[in-house]
């Protein structure tokens, strides 16, 4: 790099203080920068007696990286320390060259959005690949009954079904109560009180029970499965399985997928009952509708098809949750903090997928 030669600074050398550590360096740097921009300056170290690594790095920075600054009268001890430091090839980090932005602002924005979109698509592709692998593993397991730990499916059924049952029933009961109360006033205006039974029954069986059960499974089962698998990955248990010749994607995921497939119908049935019961209780209190009249009216509108489609949707949501949990848990990095991050991401991914799949079902079914 060449330029016009600068004149020597008329103010004379800058003498560094006796104690020159990080705090003192911070104090002198602005002046060095200001004066060296205008002229050649000499930084005099003759009085320096107390120094540390930051002083050595500062000296390196002056002599190697700052043009227009000359170090003078460096004490022997500091020079020796600097020489030792200089033997390390990485002592002076190269500054990253600034990358000038190219293209217009809109172009860069679109490029960034396209990059993010492609990253999401790649993620979705990997997720779908895992989904396909799991279908293959389940098929293989059902045919050969090999590669899964005996009893694990029961354990998972107990955890996913029995442990989720109280919260699912409670929340769906409350959803039934809420939807009755919020629609009661409108129906009363038209004298259509009895149609609350149709509304609650249809909404519960077709939409609210599958969706709410899916979301509860994402929060409860999905988070727990991700945390467990991610911890196993971090603690090398997944690697250990692999080197034992066990396929972790089969050994860990197949019992969970079979369990969710078996427990979801029971959960949905219970949740349907709880939700409709919530509607019945509210209708009795608000409109004085007898439970028998409520059920008669509801059964005029809903039938087994509604229950079956609700069931099918919830099973698909359950699969989306468990595969999402496995995907995040088995692809986690190697640090403990990533376990928490993967768990959060798994819940977000599961809920997003549930809503997307629900939307697709809505187009197909209505």
Partner 1 sequence: MDIITARNLTVGYGLSEVLCDISFAIPARRITAVVGISGSGKSTLLKTLAGLLPPLGGGFEFAGRPVDYRSEASLRNLYGRIGVLYQDGALLNGLSLYENVALPVRMHYPELPEAVVRDMVHAGLAQVEMADSAEKSPSELSGGMRKRGALARALVLDPEVVFCDEPSSGLDPITSQRLDDLLLRLKETFKMTLVVVTHELRSIERVADRVILLNDGGLRFAGDYADLAASEDEFIRTFFLTKDHHHDDA
Site residues for partner 1 per CB under 8 A? 145-147, 149-150, 232, 235-237, 239-246, 251
Let me know the angle formed at the C-alpha of 99 by 97 and 105, rounded to the nearest 5 degrees: 165
Nearer to partner 1, 9 or 237 (CB): 237
DSSP 291-308: HHHHHHHHHHH--HHHHH
The CA–CA distances, whole Å, from 316 to 24, 129, 302, 309 equal: 65, 16, 22, 11
Nearer to partner 1, 64 or 235 (CB): 235
DSSP H helices in 244-335: 248-251, 253-286, 291-301, 304-330
In angstroms, rounded to a whole number, what is the distance separating the alpha carbons of residues 9 and 322? Answer: 71
Nearer to partner 1, 41 or 253 (CB): 253
Nearer to partner 1, 241 or 273 (CB): 241
Closest approach of Cβ 236 to partner 1, in Å? 4
In angstroms, rounded to a whole number, what is the distance separating the alpha carbons of residues 252 and 343? Answer: 17
Percentages helix, strand, coil for the chain, rounded to the nearest 5?
75, 5, 20
Classify residue 69 by its DSSP letter.
E
Nearer to partner 1, 150 or 288 (CB): 150
């Amino acid at each position: 790099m060449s330029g016009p030669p600068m004149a020597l600074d008329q103010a004379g050398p800058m003498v560094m203080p006796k104690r020159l550590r990080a705090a003192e360096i911070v104090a002198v740097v602005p002046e060095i920068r200001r004066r060296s921009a205008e002229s050649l300056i000499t930084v005099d170290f003759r009085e320096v007696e107390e120094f540390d690594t930051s002083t050595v790095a500062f000296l390196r920075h002056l002599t190697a990286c700052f043009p227009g600054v000359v170090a003078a009268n460096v004490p022997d001890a500091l020079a020796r320390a600097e020489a030792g430091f200089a033997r390390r090839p990485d002592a002076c980090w190269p500054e990253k060259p600034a990358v000038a932005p190219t293209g217009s602002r809109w172009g860069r924005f679109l490029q960034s959005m396209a990059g993010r979109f492609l990253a999401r698509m790649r993620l979705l592709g990997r997720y779908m690949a895992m989904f396909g692998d799991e279908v293959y593993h389940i098929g293989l397991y059902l045919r050969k009954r090999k590669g899964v730990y005996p009893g694990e499916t029961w354990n998972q059924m107990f955890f996913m079904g029995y442990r989720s049952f109280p919260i699912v029933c409670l929340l769906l009961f409350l959803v039934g109560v809420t939807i009755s109360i919020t629609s009661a006033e409108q129906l009363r205006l038209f004298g259509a009180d009895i149609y609350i039974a149709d509304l609650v029954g249809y909404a519960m069986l077709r939409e609210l029970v599958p969706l709410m059960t899916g979301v509860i499974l994402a929060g409860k089962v999905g988070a727990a499965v991700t945390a467990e698998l991610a911890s196993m990955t971090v603690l090398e248990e997944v690697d250990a399985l692999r080197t034992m010749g066990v396929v972790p994607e089969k050994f860990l995921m197949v019992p969970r997928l079979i369990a969710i497939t078996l427990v979801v119908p029971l959960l949905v049935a219970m949740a349907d009952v709880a939700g409709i019961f919530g509607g019945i209780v509210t209708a009795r209190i608000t409109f004085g509708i007898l439970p028998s009249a409520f059920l008669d009216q509801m059964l005029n509108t809903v039938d087994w098809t509604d229950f079956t489609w609700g069931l099918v949707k919830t099973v698909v949501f359950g699969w989306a949750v468990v595969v999402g949990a496995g995907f995040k848990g088995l692809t986690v990095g190697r640090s403990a903090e990533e376990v928490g991050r993967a768990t959060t991401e798994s819940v977000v991914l599961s809920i997003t997928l549930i809503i997307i799949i629900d939307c697709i079902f809505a187009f197909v079914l209505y």
